[in-house]
Amino acid sequence: MDRNFFVLEFLFHFPKKSAFFVARQHGNTPYKPLSKLEFVGNSETGKVFEQAVEITAPTGETLQIRRVVVTLNKPTRKGDKNLVLLTNLPEEVDPLKVAELYRERWGIETAFQKLESHLDSEINTLGYPKAALFSFCLALVAFNIYAVVMAVLQAAHPEKVIKNEVSEYYVAQEIDVATDGLLIAIPEDEWGVFAHARPSELAVILLNVAS
């Protein structure tokens, strides 16, 4: 998660739920070093260092975690030369893997950006938290469907780079504009094949359509 979500009270719930986090350290987050920062290897983005630290919750509760610092080969867009991560992952998870896991967050960020821009996942008029959350969850389901469509197109046309050939905006717009007409024109029982097909059968159907 991004540093803006680095809330100590929140993070202390992870180990209680047998869960793990990799979070970018916020500049105002206090920590107590338990060991020296040591070089552990090189990643694709820079030199990786690690140390053990202790953080303290507002309640006074303490938690011993790992602090992974990536000295970047190329500064971020905001000019940051170091990427500092905190994690409660166990020692058997290599620090280089921790750095790699955080890099994958950008893929998630891109997905959320598409959800907001193409599928209207953030509707300002939904003032009730549960209504906004429900709308957002529907957008997540829609994004999974979109991801399947793009993957099937890429599989059916491997010689092309589908993300460069097919407009995500127009795919979303086509669904928004054409769905009501399709539901009127095509009898309800014709849609049953999509609901009842096994994943392997559905893959064959979608590949045929994509071809």
User: How many other C-beta atoms can be found within 10 angstroms of the C-beta atom of residue 189?
Assistant: 7
> What is the pLDDT at residue 145?
86
Question: What is the rounded average pLDDT of the residues 30-54?
Answer: 93
119 pLDDT higher than 70? no
44 Cβ partners below 8 Å, 6+ apart?
100, 103
> What is the pLDDT at residue 87?
95
* Whole-structure pTM value: 0.56
133 pLDDT higher than 80? no
User: How many other C-beta atoms can be found within 10 angstroms of the C-beta atom of residue 110?
Assistant: 10
121 pLDDT higher than 70? no
Please, what's the b/e burial string for 17-52 (b: 16 or more CB within 10 A of its CB; e: otherwise)?
A: eeeebbbbbeeebeeeeeeeeeebeebebbebbbbe
Angle at alpha carbon of residue 50, lines to 47 and 53, rounded to 5° = 150
123 pLDDT higher than 70? no
> What is the pLDDT at residue 204?
95
> What is the pLDDT at residue 67?
96
Half-sphere exposure of 6 (CA within 13 A, CB side): 19
> What is the pLDDT at residue 143?
83
136-188 pLDDT, tens digit each: 788 788 888 888 999 999 999 999 999 888 888 888 888 878 889 999 999 98
Q: Who wins on pLDDT, 102 or 128?
A: 102
pLDDT band at 125 (very low <50, low <70, confident <90, very high): low
Distance CA 146, CA 171 (A): 8
Q: How many residues does the chain have?
A: 211
12 pLDDT higher than 70? yes
Q: What is the DSSP string of 105-171?
A: HHHHHHHHHHHHHHH----TT--SHHHHHHHHHHHHHHHHHHHHHHHHHHHH-TTS-HHHHS-HHHH
19 pLDDT higher than 90? yes
11 pLDDT higher than 80? yes
pLDDT band at 18 (very low <50, low <70, confident <90, very high): very high
pLDDT band at 40 (very low <50, low <70, confident <90, very high): very high
54-110 pLDDT, tens digit each: 999 888 999 999 999 999 888 877 788 888 999 999 999 999 999 888 877 766 667
Distance CA 187, CA 76 (A): 53
Distance CA 96, CA 85 (A): 11
> What is the pLDDT at residue 107?
67
